[in-house]
Amino acid sequence: MSKEKPGIWITGASSGIGRAAAIEFAKTGAKVFVSGRRALELERINTELDSDKISVEVFPCNIASHTNVDQTVKKISAISKIDCLINNAGITSFKLAEDNSINEINDIIQTNLLGSIYAIKAVLPQMISNKSGTIINILSIVTKKTFTKSSIYSASKSGLLGYANSLREEVRKYNIKVINVVPGATDTSMWSKDIRNQHSNRMMSGEDIARVLVWTYLQKENLVTEEIVMRPIEGDL
């Protein structure tokens, strides 16, 4: 880790992959800023970190609201520069397209696609002016393979993939890295209890993904790992 502690902003850190990433980054000595809607769950991360005498800073934020995202970035930036954004907040519905309500469609696109874009838009000016920064997007294996009962989710993640690939080419000149992480089935509350009970032994864990996030963030200054695909060894669910 560089001499000055890097500032890492993780969205959707109240559970699953984001929570594991917050803990893993905090253990490297980084200044970690965690967001999500459930403030209590975010605070609980510090209970777990207490024994290591380290902590994360909690900034509740609804990623689907661009005003909330802008306010949150202003608050974090008053404390630290944001060296790395981990765009992780996300939801899904596991329903057939014909069964998705308009509200579900709006929520998924607003959170996964627009929310991630709002977060990027909010951190980009400081990264451009710093001539440095890392944006890590947590996409999904649905961007690589076709699954049913995932149409809106796939649209949201594939939309973010297209946005991120275009953005990467625009911001190379500012030394900003755009990294897409593409996980397959991971044992988190995104899945139903039944599926987790049945398949958790073959799914990846949030900690598995978190270790890869730290590893990729710590790569040499002059290279960017553009895409990382991670799957359970036994294949997709």
Query: At its nearest, how many Å lie between ligand NAP and the CB of residue 23?
Result: 13
Binding site for ligand NAP (CB under 6 A): 11-18, 36-38, 41, 61-64, 88-91, 111, 138, 140, 183, 185-186, 188-190, 206
Q: Give the integer Cα–Cα distance in Å for 132 and 216.
A: 15
Least distance (Å) from ligand NAP to the CB of residue 189? 4
Is 61 or 152 the residue whose CB approaches ligand NAP more closely?
Answer: 61
For ligand NAP, the closer CB: 119 or 169: 119
Of the pair 5, 231, the CB lying nearest ligand NAP is at: 231
Please report how close the Cβ of residue 131 comes to ligand NAP at its closest, in angstroms.
28
| Cβ 175 to ligand NAP shortest distance, Å | 26
In the sheet with 57-58, reading across from the earlier edge strand, the strands are 57-58, 31-34, 7-10, 84-87, 133-138, 176-183, 227-230
Residues 202 and 157: beta-carbon distance below 8 Å: no
Closer CB to ligand NAP, 88 or 100, in the complex: 88
Angstrom distance (rounded) from CA 106 to CA 62: 14
